[in-house]
Every structure is written in C-alpha cells, then in structure tokens.
Structure 1
C-alpha cells in the first residue's frame, strides 16, 4: 500500500520538477545579470543595460517562484502579483536610463553589444527550453514562462541594435531598442498583474 494517493503523488512529483527547473534558471539568470551589467556599463549601451535589468528581474522572479512551488493557489497568485510589480519596476529603471541617455548622448560599443546579446541569447534559450514543459501548469509557472519568453525577444533586439549602431555610427538605434524593451516589459508586467489578480479573485471565492 502506498503512502499517498496517485493524485497527491503526482502533485508532489510536479512540484519537485518545478523546483529543480527553477533552481537551474535562477542560477543562470543570476550569473547573466552580473556579466551583462558590467558589459552594459562598459559599452555604454542602454539597450544592453535594459537587458541586464531584465535578467535581474528574472532572477528575483525565479526565486519567488521557487518559494511559491507547492503552496496554495492563493499564495501563488499573491507571489505572481509581486512578480508583476518587479517587472514594472524594471521597466521604470529602463525609462530612467533612456531619459539619462537622451540628456547625455553616447555612441555605444557595438562589438560588446553584439557579443553579449548572443551570449545572453544562448543562456536564455536554455532557460526557455527548460521551462517549456511547465508553462501551463499553474499561474506561478505561467508568469515565469512569460519572463523567459520576453528575454529571447530582448536579446534579439539588442543584437539588431548593435548592427544598426555599427551601420549608422549613431547611438539612436540603441535608444530605439531600449524603448521597445520598455514597452515589452510594461506589457508583460500588465499581463502578469492582470492574470495574478484574476487568480487571486478565483482563489478567494474558493
């Protein structure tokens, strides 16, 4: 006779898989933030800095998601709500950097932008692959998947911006991509917050 019913064992197994995946992607994003922020400051790239802040937000998000695994729907919804706030905070930081760069123009080092956007693309592609199977499991993992999918678009955008800076010899492509990333982060934050609020209302009714 087993110690638990089949459904309970299946939930425990799913939670263990989620924890294992989140630990790996948390480590990847923590390392990538440290690497990317140094590269962004060195290259004077606002787009690369936005990308690095996205990695920091993801690392915090994955840490919170790890905390939420195995907890009730109400707690998962509250954690997802907090994660949406973190994404919005990252968007505000990007907006502040864009304003600063408009006041203090600079042409970023496109070689650094291109190289580190590709490194980040490889790291985030690995995260996306690992999170793929969890994307529909619950609101907690759905919000994690949202963050990871955004990262791929951000990395590709920075790579395109690096090419445009090289072609034009201007810093404007960097700012344009940073504005696009700002829009992406803001839209993602709104979606995560709306989904979390809906799940919170549903959990409260039950």
Structure 2
C-alpha cells in the first residue's frame, strides 16, 4: 500500500547484511520489480480512464509508489543520507499530488454520473494481482535482508490487498449496477496515498533539518576568547 516504506529505518542498512544489499542480484531484482510496477501503473491509469473507474486509478497509485520505492532503492545505494532524504521528499510530493488527482477524478465521476465498466475493472485487477504475485516471488528470497530490503518485500505483499479491494469494487459495481462501490474504494485508497505522501514529506524535512543542524556546529567559527 502507499506509504508502507516510510519509517525512520526504511533506508538503513544493518551491518550484517550490508554486503547482501549491494549484491548485483539484488540490483537486478529491483530493476525487474521496477519495470513490472511501472508497466502496471501505465496499464491501470489507461484502464481507469477507459473504464471510468476511480478505484483503478487509485490502485495505480500503489504501483506508482512501489515503482518509486524500487527506483529510490536503486538510486540511493551508496549515496549520502541527504540525497536519500531529498529523493524521499520528491516521492512523497508525487504520491500526494497523484492522490489529489484521484480524489478530484472521483468527485468528477460523481458529478458526471459515469458508470464504471465492471468487467474491465475486474480483468485489470486480476492482472494487477498476478503482477504483484510475480514481484513478491522475485523479492521473496531477499525478505530477510536489511530494513530496506524487508520493507520492499512487505510493500509488495501488502499491495495484493489493494488489488483485492478493486476486484471487490468491480463485483460491487456489477452486482448493484451503481458506481458507489468503485468510488468508495477510490476515496479510501486515495486518502491513504495522500496521508502517506504527507508523512514522507514531513519525515524527509525533519531528516534534512537534522542534518543541517549537525553541519552548522561543525562549520561554526568559534569567536576568539578574550583574555584579561
């Protein structure tokens, strides 16, 4: 789900697993996971617009968040903490902006009265579950690594819940003949994305502020002491 990799130790590396986290095979797995999630993000955005489904657009937020997680995990290998904090802030801002877009789209759907296409929603939700299952299988062997490696696997495992929610929304739309199940799921998932994005931005600003506070005393010039 959006925001499942935002705790204070998400980017940390335990001393016993530092070599494992820099293993070339781990980098290849991250690249494959990044490609799958980026592709499914595009599929769900296209499907959400074509099927008039706000919940598909909201689920695309999950794939965007995961793609950003994998991209950041690749980018920050060996980088300084302040670069990781800045990258996390950008990721949080992107999550928040897309969440607002999904909410706006849901409100527009209420006003326009468009009926989602339940069959398209269900088909894409199943494809999303298969994609997340593939990524989880790729990451399974690395689940016992450092905090970042473990959290990346947990994110993918938990994202299946989002896919199930969209599938249930499709069943609800088909069974009731209304758009409300789709909108309810969309609003809930978009709210999670906005909350997660805000939390990431806030934590990254705290980290950047803490780094600046540590740098200033080190660079401060002590005034000459006056001697009587």
Q: TM-score, normalised by structure 1?
A: 0.79
Q: Deviations over 1:62-105 (max 9, x none)?
A: 32332112212222222222211111111111111112112111
Q: Which residues in structure 2 correspond to 1:28-47 (within 5 Å)?
A: 28-47=36-55
Partner of 2:22: 15
Report which of the two structures shows the higher radius of gyration computed on alpha carbons. 2
Q: 1:104 aligns with which of 102, 106, 112?
A: 112
1:123/1:183 Cα in 2 relative to 1: closer, same or farther (>3 Å)? same
Q: Establish whether residue 137 from structure 1 lines up as the match of residue 146 from structure 2.
A: yes
Q: Say which structure is richer in helix.
A: 1
| SS of match in other structure, 1:162 | helix
Larger RCO: 1 or 2 (CA < 8 Å, sep 6+): 2
Q: 2:168 aligns with which of 146, 160, 166?
A: 160
| SS of match in other structure, 1:93 | helix
Q: 2:192 aligns with which of 184, 191, 198?
A: 184
Shift of 1:21: 2.6
Q: What runs of 5+ residues in structure 2 fail to find an aligned partner?
A: 1-13, 216-228
Greater alpha carbon shift after TM alignment, 128-137 vs 102-111: 128-137
1:112/1:168 Cα in 2 relative to 1: closer, same or farther (>3 Å)? same
Q: Establish whether residue 170 from structure 1 lines up as the match of residue 178 from structure 2.
A: yes
Tell me how many residue pairs correspond in the alignment: 199
Shift of 1:25: 1.0
Greater alpha carbon shift after TM alignment, 168-177 vs 17-26: 17-26
Q: 1:66 aligns with which of 68, 71, 74?
A: 74
Q: Is the 8 A contact 2:97 2:194 kept in 1?
A: no
Q: Deviations over 1:144-199 (max 9, x none)?
A: 56754563232111111011111110011111111111122123223333443454
